[in-house]
């Protein structure tokens, strides 16, 4: 067991519970009975997050102690189930901003999150085992096709749902899969030039067809980056005030659970109050904990990701290396996007911060993926037993 990996993960989870309690205290919509039981709205959401962490702990240790060679066989059924769920969501007659969410009883989750988990398992399995069937499957073009098809279908479906953030995380995952999968540098260079050439077509033609809010958010971000006039009461409302809250916090910040008297913009109601506890939680962390708290958070994430790469280095096979590196790429994409949109280095994408945001099933999926990485470490020295049949006399 890689205990540094475990301790950093649970340290982030505990920190996230405390920050959720602070960020969610401005929310409404909680029953009177729940308020009497928990004392505040923030404590109510923090308690729910603790429940999901307990469920995630079961998923984590189950994935860690079971050899990942067996878990990766779930790639195909997980992949097909996730595509089916995303297809069901697309067929739902719902036009609100949460169209990409699926509700089963009292449980609400995003099928896109299950899709990328299944995609990681599927890519790791195919790139490991298909070349064993025939060397033709080990050719660079075939590997590129396997990764491209495995990612393109859920990517387009997620974009159609309007969840641009969950779709964009496929890009670094695919890039890392190509590199770890052994694609030669000349192929990667050619693909990079082709991608740069079609980027304007994707932005001006394809993106407006699959996402209504995507072009508007990117345009708002570009205007803010170039100090041009934006509507801070409209599309630029949330990014403007969240970045202001982070920027004015200074070294120490306004303090944990800061109020109006402390000068907190979030306590005054500026920004997206309904998403402070999930998508914009770094805005709360940056304002209340200041630069020092933000720096400690980034250091903890860096330790987690470096440990993931360390585990990948000691993997016994290609599939383990792919699983570890793709999980690191996924986490890095989420961290970069979630924090970046709070400090105006990324457009608003509406994506949770792993292990920190109140995200329900997403924290369970994150812990399951980290459990797979831990499994790569635990079983790094395991070798399949090879029985040799004695020769006939």
pLDDT in tens, 317-354: 899 999 999 999 999 999 999 999 999 898 888 789 99
Domain count along the chain:
1
Main-chain phi, psi angles of 182, to 5 degrees: 90, 25
pLDDT band at 107 (very low <50, low <70, confident <90, very high): low
pLDDT at 321: 94
Does residue 388 fall inside a structural domain?
A: no
pLDDT at 338: 92
Whether the pLDDT of residue 214 is over 80: the answer is no
Does residue 298 fall inside a structural domain?
A: yes
Main-chain phi, psi angles of 171, to 5 degrees: -65, -55
Whether the pLDDT of residue 94 is over 70: the answer is no
pLDDT at 393: 45
pLDDT band at 227 (very low <50, low <70, confident <90, very high): confident
Does residue 393 fall inside a structural domain?
A: no
**What would the pLDDT profile of 64-87 be if each residue is shown by its tens digit?**
999 888 887 888 888 898 888 888
For every residue of 324-383, DSSP letters joined together read: HHHHHHHHHHHHHHHHHTTTTSS-----PPTTTS--THHHHHHHHHHHHHHHHHHTTT--
Contact 229, 223 (CB under 8 A): yes
Q: Which of 173-182, 249-258, 281-290 has the lowest mean pLDDT?
A: 249-258
Does residue 32 fall inside a structural domain?
A: yes
CA distance 364 to 59: 7
Per-residue tokens: 284? 């709360």
Only one residue has tokens 């901003």, namely: 97
Whether the pLDDT of residue 95 is over 50: the answer is no
Whether the pLDDT of residue 370 is over 50: the answer is yes
pTM of the shown model: 0.92
Main-chain phi, psi angles of 195, to 5 degrees: -60, -40
pLDDT at 337: 92
CA distance 91 to 86: 9
The closest of 165, 181, 199, 190 to 279, measured between CA atoms, is 165
Does residue 384 fall inside a structural domain?
A: no
**What would the pLDDT profile of 276-305 be if each residue is shown by its tens digit?**
888 899 999 999 999 999 999 999 999 999
- Give the Cβ contact number of residue 350 at 10 Å: 22
CA distance 332 to 181: 19
Main-chain phi, psi angles of 76, to 5 degrees: -70, -50
Does residue 387 fall inside a structural domain?
A: no
pLDDT band at 163 (very low <50, low <70, confident <90, very high): confident
| Mean of per-residue pLDDT scores for the chain | 86
SS3 per residue for 309-324? HHHHHCCCCHHHHHHH
Does residue 282 fall inside a structural domain?
A: yes
Contact 288, 267 (CB under 8 A): no
Tell me which residue range forms the domain holding 157: 3-378
Does residue 132 fall inside a structural domain?
A: yes
C-alpha Rg value of the chain to the nearest Å: 22
């Amino acid at each position: 067991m890689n205990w540094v990996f475990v301790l950093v993960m649970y340290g982030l989870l505990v920190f996230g519970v405390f920050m959720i309690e602070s960020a969610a205290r401005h929310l409404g919509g909680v029953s009177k009975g729940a308020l009497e039981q928990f004392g505040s709205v923030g404590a109510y959401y923090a308690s729910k997050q603790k429940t999901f962490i307990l469920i995630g702990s079961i998923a984590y240790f189950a994935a860690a102690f079971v050899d990942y060679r067996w878990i990766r066989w779930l790639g195909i059924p997980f992949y097909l189930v996730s595509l089916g769920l995303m297809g069901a969501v697309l067929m739902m007659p719902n036009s609100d901003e949460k169209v990409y969410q699926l509700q089963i009883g009292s449980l609400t989750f995003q099928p896109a999150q299950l899709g990328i988990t299944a995609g990681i398992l599927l890519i790791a399995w195919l790139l490991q085992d298909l070349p064993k069937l025939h060397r033709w499957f080990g050719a660079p073009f075939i590997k590129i096709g396997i990764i491209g098809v495995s990612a393109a279908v859920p990517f387009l479906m997620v974009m159609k749902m309007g969840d641009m953030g969950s779709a964009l995380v496929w890009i670094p995952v695919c890039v890392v899969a190509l590199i770890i999968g052994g694609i030669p540098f000349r192929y990667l260079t050619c693909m990079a030039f082709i991608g740069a050439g079609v980027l304007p077509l994707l932005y001006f033609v394809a993106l407006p067809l699959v996402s209504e809010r995507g072009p508007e958010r990117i345009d708002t971000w570009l205007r803010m980056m170039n100090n041009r006039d934006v509507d801070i009461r409209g599309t630029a409302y949330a990014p403007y005030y969240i970045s202001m809250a982070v920027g004015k916090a200074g070294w120490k910040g306004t303090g944990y659970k800061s109020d109006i008297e402390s000068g907190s913009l979030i306590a005054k109601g500026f920004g997206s109050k309904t998403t402070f506890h999930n998508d914009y939680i770094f805005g709360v962390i940056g304002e209340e904990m200041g630069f020092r708290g933000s720096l400690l958070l980034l250091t903890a994430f860096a330790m987690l990701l470096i440990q993931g790469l360390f585990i990948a280095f000691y993997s016994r096979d290609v599939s383990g290396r792919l699983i570890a590196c793709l999980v690191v790429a996924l986490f890095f994409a989420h961290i970069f996007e979630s924090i970046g949109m709070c400090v105006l280095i990324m457009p608003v994408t509406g994506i949770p911060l792993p292990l920190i945001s109140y995200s329900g099933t997403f924290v369970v999926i994150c812990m399951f993926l980290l459990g797979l990485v831990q499994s790569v470490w635990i079983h790094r020295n395991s070798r399949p037993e090879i029985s040799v049949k004695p020769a006939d006399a």
